[in-house]
């Protein structure tokens, strides 16, 4: 018996050591750097929903991988896409800083299904001008900002070849747009039914030359995310009003991304927003007796469909059917 216990203890200790080593390994790969590496087309790197590979065997002095970006030698890819995207490297100039006008400095394929994809690329001399070609046609003419980033967006998809050429040096426009006044508005009823609920997110974006594009990036409760082009309003204001973007209950986060016509870009801070299910009337994270009490306070009242959260079924009457809907979720907790 004692021998069996010792064996079990040894097996348990080995399992504990394995779990610890696994956790250490996982922690180490969240952000790491490898040096002097050769990559072939059968290998790829995963960064979120982005997959990076090469179209031919390529040698790199270093590759740095983080949870939100990857840097090949000194050229970084900070890509925002609502769908899985594959980026296949074709060419990276060994001396981007010393490239002459007209020289190609970067070439890659990008392939995804749909959506507006934002490419923030780093490692370019500040103030230098570039041309971005998509499948042979020019689509952008960014200038590297003070941090060495160029930015462009693309929303026409299949597999496309992107080529970036240097077009001249100079001070140019290196100032990023300024994002301020981010706010959210919604009706008091906070309804998940798109026929009654809506959420409007607004912000101000200004630039010393001209604002290019402004996008709202939303991370959904299931960790997927969407990009929405924001509409220009009066003066420097931009807005995105949607009845479907927040139609699933749960906790969201969002941020604003903007660039200017020179390719300089900036990102706002991240903001949180919660959409309660209709059966959590008081928005406390669960369905409890307090939700029943709120219905009882208005029982028998009528109004426009969905005029208050107590009208759970949005039929304009506070009645027994609202209590029935609550009973189907009683005790449930949605806040995570």
Q: Which of 38-42, 83-87, 191-195 has the lowest mean pLDDT?
A: 191-195
What is the pLDDT averaged over residues 306-315? 90
pLDDT at 314 over 70: yes
What's the pTM?
Answer: 0.57
With a CB cutoff of 8 Å and minimum separation 6, the contacts of 320 are none
d(CA 46, CA 51): 5
The pLDDT tens digits for 208-235 are 888 989 999 999 999 998 999 999 999 8
128, part of any domain: yes
Is residue 169 over pLDDT 80? no
pLDDT tens column, 10-60: 443 444 444 434 433 443 445 666 667 899 999 999 999 999 999 999 999
Same domain? 139 vs 63: yes
Mean pLDDT, range 188-216, rounded to an integer: 91
Distance in angstroms (rounded) separating the CA atoms of residues 243 and 46: 33
Q: Are residues 5 and 53 in the same domain?
A: no
Q: Is the domain of 262 the same as that of 289?
A: no
Among 107, 141, 168, residue at a domain's last position? 168
Beta strand 50-54 pairing with 85-92: parallel
Same domain, 188 and 269: yes
- 153/222 same-domain check: no
- Spell out the residues 6+ positions from residue 316 whose beta carbon is closer than 8 angstroms to its own: 302, 303, 304, 305, 306, 307
Same domain, 9 and 43: no
Residues 216 and 267: their CA atoms lie apart, in Å, by 10
Task: Tell whether 258 and 287 lie within a shared domain.
Answer: no
Query: 173 in a domain, yes or no?
Result: no
Q: Are residues 38 and 155 in the same domain?
A: yes
Same domain, 103 and 156: yes
Q: What is the mean pLDDT of the chain?
A: 87
Tell me which of 258, 275, 292 is where a domain ends. 275
Do both 41 and 121 map to the same domain? yes
The CATH number of residue 324's host domain is 1.10.1330.10
* Predicted pLDDT at 9: 41
Residues 198, 211, single domain; the answer is yes
**Residues 191 and 151 occupy one common structural domain:** no
Could you tell me if residue 146 is inside a domain? yes
Q: Considering the domain boundaries, does residue 149 fall inside one?
A: yes
Apex 12 CA angle, 6 and 15, nearest 5: 145
Q: Do the domain assignments include residue 213? A: yes
| Closest-CA residue to 225 (of 118, 89, 87) | 118
Q: What is the mean pLDDT of residues 157-181?
A: 87
| Residue 193 resides in a domain | yes
Please tell me the total count of domains within the chain.
Answer: 4
State the residue range of the domain holding 20: 1-30
Q: Is the dihedral of CA 284, 287, 291, 295 positive or negative?
A: positive
Q: Are 246 and 225 in contact (CB under 8 A)?
A: no
């Amino acid at each position: 018996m004692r021998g069996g216990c010792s064996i079990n203890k040894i097996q348990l200790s080995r399992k504990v050591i394995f779990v610890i080593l696994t956790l250490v390994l996982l922690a180490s790969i969240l952000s790491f750097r490898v040096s002097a590496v050769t990559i072939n087309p059968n290998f790829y790197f995963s960064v979120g929903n982005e997959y990076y590979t090469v179209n031919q065997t390529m040698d790199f002095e270093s590759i740095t991988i983080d949870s939100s970006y990857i840097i090949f030698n000194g050229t970084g890819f900070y890509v925002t896409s609502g769908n899985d995207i594959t980026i296949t490297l074709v060419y990276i100039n060994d001396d981007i800083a010393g490239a002459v006008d007209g020289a190609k400095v970067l070439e890659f394929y990008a392939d995804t299904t749909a959506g507006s994809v934002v490419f923030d690329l780093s490692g370019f001399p500040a103030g230098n001008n570039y041309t971005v070609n998509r499948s042979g046609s020019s689509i952008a003419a960014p200038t590297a900002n003070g941090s060495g980033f160029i930015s462009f967006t693309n929303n026409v998809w299949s597999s496309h070849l992107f080529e970036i050429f240097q077009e001249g040096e100079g001070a140019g426009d290196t100032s990023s747009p300024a994002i301020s006044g981010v706010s959210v508005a919604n009706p008091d009823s906070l309804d998940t039914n798109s026929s009654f609920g809506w959420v409007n997110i607004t912000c101000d974006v200004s630039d010393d030359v001209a604002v290019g594009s402004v996008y709202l990036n939303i991370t959904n409760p299931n960790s997927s995310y969407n990009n929405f082009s924001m509409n220009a309003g009066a003066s420097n204001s931009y807005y995105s009003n949607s009845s479907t973007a927040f139609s699933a209950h749960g906790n969201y986060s969002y941020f604003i991304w903007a660039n200017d016509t020179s390719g300089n870009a900036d990102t706002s801070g991240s903001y949180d927003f919660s959409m309660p299910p209709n059966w959590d009337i008081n928005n406390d994270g669960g369905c409890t007796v307090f939700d029943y009490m709120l219905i009882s306070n208005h029982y028998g009242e009528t109004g426009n469909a969905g005029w208050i959260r107590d009208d759970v079924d949005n039929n304009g009457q506070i009645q027994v059917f609202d209590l029935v809907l609550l009973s189907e979720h009683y005790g449930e907790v949605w806040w995570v």
